Structure 1
Amino acid sequence: MEIERKFLIETPPPDTEGYPHETIEQGYLCTDPVVRVRRKGERFILTCKGPGLMVREEFELPLTEEAYRGLLAKADGTVITKERYYLPYGAYTIELDRFGPPFAPLTVAEVEFPTREEALSFTPPDWFGREVTGDPAYTNASMSRKKD
Structure 2
Amino acid sequence: MSLEIERKFLVATMPDLSQTRKAFVRQGYLTHPDDSTELRLRQKNDQYFMTLKGGGDIARVEREAEISGTQFEIFWPETEGRRVEKERYTGLLPDGRTFELDVFLGSLSSLCLVEIEFNSEEAARAYSPPDWFGADVTEDKRYKNKTLAINGIPN
Distance in 2, Cα, partners of 1:94 & 1:80: 19
Equivalent AA in structure 1 for residue 83 of structure 2: V
**Equivalent residue for 2:58?**
54
Between 32-41 and 68-77, the greater mean CA deviation after superposition: 68-77
1:141 aligns to what?
A: 146
Q: 83-92 or 107-116, which moves further after superposition? A: 83-92
State how far apart, in whole Å, the 2-side matches of 1:81 and 1:61 are: 20
Which of 68, 79, 82 lines up with 1:75 in the alignment?
Answer: 79
Tell me what 2:6 maps to. 4
Aligned-CA RMSD value: 1.4
Preserved contact between residue 40 and residue 52 of structure 2 (Cα < 8 Å): yes
Report the secondary structure of 1:57's partner residue. strand
Counterparts of residues 97-108 of structure 1 (less than 5 Å): 97-108=102-113
- What's the TM-score once normalised by structure 2's chain length? 0.90
TM-score scaled to structure 1, two decimals? 0.94
Give the C-alpha shift of residue 146 in structure 1.
1.4
Query: How many pairs align?
Result: 147
1:76-100 residue CA offsets vs partner (Å, 9 max, x unmatched): 4232110011120123111000000
CA contact (8 A) 1:99 1:107 kept: yes
Residues in 1 aligned to 2:152 and 2:143: alpha-carbon distance in whole angstroms = 14
Could you report, residue by residue, the CA deviation over 1:8-35 in whole angstroms, capped at 9, with x for unpaired residues? Answer: 013211x214411101000000141200
Q: Find 1:92's aligned residue among 92, 97, 107.
A: 97
SS at match of 1:105: coil
Structure 1 CA distance, aligned partners of 2:19 and 2:62? 30
Q: What is the letter of the counterpart of residue 3 of structure 1?
A: I
Change (3 A) 1:21 1:36: same
Structure 2: distance between partners of 1:42 and 1:147: 26
Stretches of 4+ aligned residues off by more than 2 angstroms: none
State the one-letter code of the partner of 2:17.
T
Deviation at 1:147, TM superposition (A): 5.9
Question: For the residues of structure 1 that align with 2:18 and 2:92, how far apart are their CA atoms?
Answer: 13
Q: Which amino acid aligns with 1:9?
A: V
Measure the CA separation in 1 of the matches of 2:119 and 2:131.
22
